[in-house]
């Protein structure tokens, strides 16, 4: 309805407005709008005149049963339940909400791209959530989607790991604590390197360099270490991704692209896009793209940098997949870097739409009331601990009920993931356990519960009929109106890669369903069989849309909660 009014206003007065409808007393109508009052000043017109013009147009809409001007310029709108029901039935299919807008086009979506040296932390949670949602939205709108986990598996860490392991760790410790031991060793070694530097010594630092050199020269011992550490780290990363229920088609990390970087840099030099400095380093000047700072693509010693591997990645994807769109799900702190990288890509003649799907930080409220980056007493919050804690919370939510472990996991993920989509991804998240599990709030579990409830009704009473002869669908109007909006919401969410639009939508649908049950007995009391079947038919549609919408966010509906 909001959309329709916005269109009418645009046609009549050529202005864009955001329409927020209210729900008046049913005696006056199903919806009320004060848009005419808002507009009158802007248009220098009498509000009643504006309202009358809009109301006349509204009446031409098949779904609108009546539109009346009231008071100083309110518009009360009454919908036709029957027309809405017929309309949704005509649009209905098993894939309602999906479209083929992106048919014939390929998108590469990159997430969660964690770094190998450390245990998976909450720092890569949003990349996975947002990246997965982007994948889902693009697939639902017909794109051919290729996903890639761009692992941070290249560079100094290996030298630090090996040196650190030989000094500060042991086979037993590694066998016992795996990636956490590697993470600990990494931190301890970094500290030892700092201390050593402060003392003006370099024995340890030399060892780091010599291991790196050995590795580059194919030394067997260094290769064996690398393989062992990588296996531990990768198994851990995959374990966390499995728990998060995300996966990718490919896993081409920085280490895969580093050797290809040299060629790419040489090509840039050959074509004059890049310039070599006297010290041997290579830069790409970007002043013609409005950047004072050039992009450094090769160190003076010839070593590959982050940008070198990304350059090679862009060329590789272009050659292998010919994407129309490439989506990088990476935090806001890399915005400047990606704007430089994309400018360089333009210079190279890349025409694909390169999108930095950036998002804000995950913050927490500290005990002293201040807001800061999410952390624990031990430092960064580890994903495995966060997931354990979430499962504990979920278990508490369903306490005393016979709910399976699998459902507990679905609820915990529902809570965590939904919190990523509560607002525009660019805003920071204020992580709070009570809010994300609030069964009465804007939360994943609230929406999941609506799904469980509707599924239970359907399993007890059947799926009803799609469109009941002779039934007016008056009590179902608001639910059906909400269902009718879904395809547009998906389309817009996919176009802007804004999954929060889906989260808001499913929440509103859940709320609409709850309102509906309060007012309308579906299968209780003296509801006659034909009415019951009609009502169940609407609920079956709502269930399909809730499931589809949550699936776009990577959230499943538990079987019980």
Cα angle 232, 238, 244 (rounded to 5 degrees) comes to 140
- Region near ligand ARG per CB under 6 A, out of 108-116, 278-286, 403-411, 535-543: 108-116
Minimum distance of ligand ARG from residue 286's CB (angstroms): 17
Tell me: cis bond preceding 112? Omega within 30 of 0 counts. Answer: yes
Q: What residues from 129 to 188 belong to the interface with ligand ARG (CB under 6 A)?
A: 150, 152
Give the nearest residue (CB) to ligand ARG.
152
Determine, following the binding rule CB under 6 A, whether residue 111 of this chain makes contact with ligand ARG. no
Q: How far is the CB of 27 from ligand ARG (least distance, A)?
A: 57
Interatomic CA distance for residues 518 and 503, integer angstroms = 23
Please write down the HEC assignment for all residues of 290-321.
Answer: CCCCCEEEECCCCCCCHHHHHHHHHHHHHHHH
* Residue 113 binds ligand ARG (CB under 6 A): yes
For residue 95, what are the CA distances in angstroms to 137, 141, 484, 545, 549?
13, 11, 14, 9, 11
Is 151 in contact with 230 (CB distance < 8 Å)? Answer: no
Supply the minimum distance, in Å, between the C-beta of residue 227 and ligand ARG.
20
Q: Among residues 138 and 415, whose Cβ is nearest to ligand ARG? A: 138
Q: How far is the CB of 93 from ligand ARG (least distance, A)?
A: 37
What one-character DSSP code corresponds to residue 217? T
CA angle 176, 179, 184 (to 5 degrees): 90
> Which residues in 309-348 contact ligand ARG (CB under 6 A)?
310, 313, 328, 330
Among 38, 76, 98, 115, binds ligand ARG (CB under 6 A): 115
257 binds ligand ARG (CB under 6 A): no
C-alpha gyration radius of the chain: 28
Q: Which one, 332 or 520, has the nearer CB to ligand ARG? A: 332
Which parts of 68-87 interact with ligand ARG (CB under 6 A)? none
Q: Total binding residues for ligand ARG by CB under 6 A?
A: 9
Closest to 273 (Cα-Cα) out of 264, 258, 285: 285
Task: Say if CB 124 and CB 114 are below 8 A apart.
Answer: yes
Q: Which stretch binds ligand ARG (CB under 6 A): 35-43, 96-104, 109-117, 508-516?
A: 109-117
Nearer to ligand ARG, 19 or 284 (CB): 284
Of 204 and 312, nearer to ligand ARG (C-beta) is: 312
Quick one: 154 or 516, whose CB is closer to ligand ARG? 154
Residue with structure tokens 């927020």?
A: 20
Find the shortest distance in angstroms from Cβ 285 to ligand ARG.
21
By beta-carbon proximity to ligand ARG, the closer residue of 67 and 312 is 312
Angle at alpha carbon of residue 38, lines to 32 and 43, rounded to 5°: 130
| Torsion angle of the four alpha carbons 434, 437, 443, 449, in this order, in degrees rounded to the nearest 10 | -150
User: Which H/E stretch holds residue 184?
Assistant: helix 171-198
Which residues sit at the interface with ligand ARG, rule CB under 6 A? 110, 113, 115, 150, 152, 310, 313, 328, 330
């Amino acid at each position: 309805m909001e959309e329709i009014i916005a269109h009418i206003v645009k046609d009549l007065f050529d202005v864009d407005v955001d329409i927020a409808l209210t729900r008046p007393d049913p005696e006056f109508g199903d919806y009320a709008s004060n848009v005419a009052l808002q507009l009158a000043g802007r248009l220098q017109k009498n509000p009643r005149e504006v309202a009358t013009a809009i109301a006349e147009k509204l009446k031409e809409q098949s779904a609108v049963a009546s539109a009346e001007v009231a008071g100083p310029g309110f518009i009360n709108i009454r919908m036709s339940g029957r027309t809405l029901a017929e309309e949704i039935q005509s649009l209905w299919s098993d894939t309602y909400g999906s479209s083929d807008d992106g048919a014939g086009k390929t998108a590469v979506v990159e997430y969660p791209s964690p770094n190998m040296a450390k245990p998976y932390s909450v720092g890569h949670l949003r990349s996975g959530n947002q990246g997965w949602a982007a994948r889902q939205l693009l697939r639902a709108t017909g794109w051919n989607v290729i996903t890639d986990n761009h692992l941070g598996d290249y560079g100094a860490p290996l030298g630090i790991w090996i040196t650190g392991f030989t000094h500060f760790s042991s086979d037993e410790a590694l066998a016992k604590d795996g990636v956490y031991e590697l993470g600990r060793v990494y931190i301890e070694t970094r500290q030892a390197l700092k201390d050593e530097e402060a003392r003006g010594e370099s024995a340890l630092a030399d060892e780091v360099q010599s291991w790196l050199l050995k590795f580059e020269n194919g030394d067997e011992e260094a290769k064996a270490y690398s393989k062992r550490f990588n296996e531990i780290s990768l198994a851990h990363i995959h374990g966390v991704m499995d728990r998060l229920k995300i996966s990718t088609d490919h896993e081409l990390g920085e280490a895969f692209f580093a050797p290809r970087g040299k060629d790419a840099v040489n090509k840039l030099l050959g074509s004059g896009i890049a310039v070599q400095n006297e010290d041997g380093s290579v830069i790409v000047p970007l002043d013609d793209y409005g950047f004072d700072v050039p992009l450094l693509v090769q160190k003076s010693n010839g070593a590959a940098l982050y940008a070198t591997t990304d350059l090679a990645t862009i060329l590789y994807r272009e050659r292998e997949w010919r994407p129309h769109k490439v989506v990088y799900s990476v935090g806001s702190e890399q915005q400047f870097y990606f704007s430089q990288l994309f400018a360089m890509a333009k210079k190279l003649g890349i025409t694909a739409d390169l999108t930095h799907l950036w998002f804000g930080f995950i913050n927490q409220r500290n005990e002293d009331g201040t807001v800061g980056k999410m952390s624990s007493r031990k430092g960064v919050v580890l994903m495995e601990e966060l997931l354990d804690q979430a499962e504990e919370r979920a278990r508490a939510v369903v306490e005393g009920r016979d709910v399976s472990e699998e459902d507990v996991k679905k609820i915990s993920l529902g809570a965590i993931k939904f919190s990523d989509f509560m607002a525009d991804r660019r805003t920071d998240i204020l992580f709070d356990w009570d809010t994300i599990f609030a069964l009465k709030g804007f939360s994943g579990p609230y929406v999941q519960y609506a799904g469980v409830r509707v599924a239970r009704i359907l399993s007890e009473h059947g799926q009803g009929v799609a469109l009941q002869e002779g039934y007016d669908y008056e009590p179902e109007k608001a639910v059906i109106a909400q269902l009718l909006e879904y395809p547009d919401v998906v389309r817009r969410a996919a176009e802007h890669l804004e999954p929060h639009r889906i989260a808001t939508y499913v929440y509103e649908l859940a709320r609409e369903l709850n309102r509906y049950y309060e007012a309308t007995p579906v299968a209780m009391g003296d509801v006659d069989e034909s009415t019951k079947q009609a009502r169940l038919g609407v609920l079956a549609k709502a269930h399909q849309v809730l499931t589809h919408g949550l699936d776009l966010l990577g959230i499943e509906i538990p079987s019980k909660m």
